[in-house]
Amino acid sequence: TVFRGIVAGLVQLASYKLAAVEAASGANNGGSKPEAAGGTEGQQKPPLVFHLEATCGRARASTVTLPHGDVLTPVFMPVGTQGTIKGMSSEDMKTLGCRILLGNTFHLANRPTCELLRKCGGLHNLMKWNGNILTDSGGFQMVSLLKLAVITEAGVEFEDPKKPGSRMLLTPEKSIESQNDIGADIMMALDDVVSSTLDPVKDEFRIKEATDRTLRWIDRCISAHRKPESQNLFGIVQGHLDTKPGGLREYSLKEMIKRDLPGYAIGGLSGGEAKNEFWRVVEQCTRPGAGLPEQKPRYLMGVGYPLDIVICVALGVDMFDCVYPCRTARFGTALVRSGQLRLTSAEFANDFRPLEPGGKGPLKEYTRAMHHSIVTKETVAAQLITWHNLWFMLNLLTEMREAIKANTFPDWVRQFLKDFFPSAGPAPCAVCPPRWVKDALEVCGIPLDDLFDWSETAQELPDMPKDSAKNSKQ
């Protein structure tokens, strides 16, 4: 019975792909490279054209025209660290409607190597991907591989974790050279990244050093960039969690804007800092009149929890990326509008509802029981849940875009929170959403006082609530 269910499910998934491929092909110009960098005869368009289509409060809907087509924002960008989304082909990503994904310069330089990418004409050709690519500079590895790294003014020297004893020096110039070879549509400058959990008093010197060095390194990146007519270089605002007037975030923000780059990122977050500090940094960087430029894209690096993304779209962020949706899928967790389903749990053994009741995704006919029976046991389970989670994230951002354009975004946010925290309600109620959510949305003019009990006696729910067969039975 399980085998028949898998076969039937794969047939359905194939049907979904076939049904979607024509629309996806149209969105990507039928697989041919669009002329975003061309323009009329005798003229050359810049490699990035930003068109702000609508605002609703601080939330924005825009079109970012890049060398490999239009990207509609707000947008979630799946992470394909070494040129592939694990379990997904480039055709799969196109079918899902994805128009931009990520690669990582540090890892691509190790495998397949920039020399190989240069020989084959770049990462687009290697992975047969006609959409856009954004590459991280490798700076994040200063935090994730800190024990294997030595950071100096010249750059950062890594030991390859898979090749003990080997050394690799990543300088701003080398990072840009590698990204030019990779052929990314958007390249991130190499920045000096410190953990967001550093003590602002004890580690004050290191935090300030990293903020200043990031500005020196962006100038070196700009000088090293040899293809500004076809590739975009984004700068990254640092400054740790210092949001006070005249503090390090404000300093980094103002100095980075002076470089007049095609776009900007907010870096140094999503590293374990308190959410009350997290949202205040994002708010400062997107504050009307004082934050990042209104007519350029704003990218919040490494943020992928649905709740975080909704709040940050409300604050005015355009672009997001994170490994979370794909990584958590490989461990048997599906994302749904009421949080997450940990399908390894025995409670789903006899739950014959689809992953998302009433949903329209590619797995809308797959039962939770079917997934439970194969998750972590069959390789196809990881692929199926990855499909679902990526569809969930891309669809979530599309819904927000449509709500912004329809000027109904506050209502959409309020309904999202009611669905995401179904156990919370108006007073009296024993639980409430995280209080940082209320504080952040108040700044955006989205009231929540009537929806939930915010009294001191109400216990805060986690940022990523757990759905279950018991509390979601229909």
Instruction: Say how many residues make up the chain.
Output: 474
Query: Is residue 92 among the annotated active site residues?
Result: no
Give the torsion sign (CA, 467, 468, 470, 474).
positive
Enumerate long-range contacts of 220-223, CB under 8 Å, 24 or more apart.
220/171, 220/172, 220/173, 221/172, 221/173, 221/175, 221/176, 221/189, 221/190, 222/259, 222/261, 223/173
Write down the catalytic residue from 70, 92, 185, 321.
Answer: 321
- In sequence order, what are the residues at sequence separation of 6 or more whose Cβ sits closer than 8 angstroms to the Cβ of residue 258? none
Question: For residues 317 and 297, what is the distance between their CA atoms, to the nearest angstrom?
Answer: 8
Residue 427 is classified by DSSP as: S
CA 277 to chain centre: 19
Question: For residues 249 and 364, what is the distance between their CA atoms, to the nearest angstrom?
Answer: 44
Residue 417: closest CA among 311, 259, 271, 294: 311
In single-letter form, the type of residue at position 404 comes to: I
Helix (H, G, I), strand (E, B) or coil at 316: coil
194 burial (CB, 10 Å; 0-12 / 13-18 / 19+) is buried
Query: Is residue 321 among the annotated active site residues?
Result: yes
Contact 131, 99 (CB under 8 A): yes
Q: How far is CA 103 from CA 28, 29, 84, in A?
A: 19, 22, 8
Q: How far is CA 164 from CA 83, 152, 156, in A?
A: 23, 21, 17
For the chain, the C-alpha Rg in angstroms (whole number) is 22
CA 454 to chain centre: 30
Write down the catalytic residue from 70, 92, 136, 467.
Answer: 136
- In sequence order, what are the residues at sequence separation of 6 or more whose Cβ sits closer than 8 angstroms to the Cβ of residue 388? 329, 334, 335, 355, 356, 361, 362, 363
Q: Which two tokens stand for residue 1?
A: 């019975």
Residue in this structure with the two tokens 């990507």, named with its chain if needed: 28
Question: For residues 433 and 437, what is the distance between their CA atoms, to the nearest angstrom?
Answer: 7
Q: What positions carry a catalytic annotation? A: 136, 321
